[in-house]
Amino acid sequence: MNKADILVDIDFKPENKRRLVKMAEDFAWKMYFVSDNLGLRFTDISVYETNKGLHFYLKAESERPLTPLEIIIIQLALGSDYKREIFNLRRARAWLDGEELDDGWNTLFRYKYKNGKLVSNESETEYSKTFRGYVINRYEKLMGGG
């Protein structure tokens, strides 16, 4: 099996539990749709809260390696910030031209600074743990495991 890292940046946080559950169910459904149509399986997910939203670090396995363009499309399909993915596409153009991509071409920033001041950092919180739990439970049910 080939392994891939799928990184998703969502600049939104539901403000109540009902909307949190709905967003988690939607995210799990998107994971299932990607899995079902592309023949890959998500094997792990970490979720971190940021000032504006959530960062998702997903581990995936597939029969064949995913190209950078496939990774970008999957990230967009899962709801990642479109600006982030356009920057990723700009970096991935080197791959299209036959160049090797460095390991940092697809990254999420754990810390963000503005004018030398920390303005955001990702952290595992009760909120992110709750979201992760809902996503995993729903995804496993959709995949037939529960």
What is the residue range of 23's domain?
Answer: 2-96+105-142
Residues 6/76, Cβ–Cβ less than 8 Å: no
* Per-residue pLDDT at 119: 65
Structure tokens given for 7: 């990184």
DSSP 13: -
Residue range 116-128, pLDDT digits in tens: 876 678 999 999 9
d(CA 74, CA 36): 12
Residues 123/48, Cβ–Cβ less than 8 Å: yes
Residues 93/41, Cβ–Cβ less than 8 Å: no
Residue range 91-108, pLDDT digits in tens: 898 888 888 888 888 988
**129 Rama sector, left if φ>0, alpha if ψ -120 to 50, beta otherwise:** alpha
pLDDT > 90 fraction of the chain, expressed in percent and rounded:
71
Residues 132/52, Cβ–Cβ less than 8 Å: no
Query: Residue 127: beta bridge partners?
Result: none
Residues 25/73, Cβ–Cβ less than 8 Å: no
pLDDT > 70 fraction of the chain, expressed in percent and rounded:
96
H-helix segments, 57-143: 68-77, 82-96, 126-142
Residue range 41-71, pLDDT digits in tens: 999 999 999 988 999 999 999 999 999 999 9
Structure tokens given for 138: 């729903």
Residue range 5-47, pLDDT digits in tens: 999 999 998 888 899 999 999 999 999 999 999 999 999 999 9
- The number of domains in the chain is 1
**Which of 78 and 122 is assigned the larger pLDDT?**
78
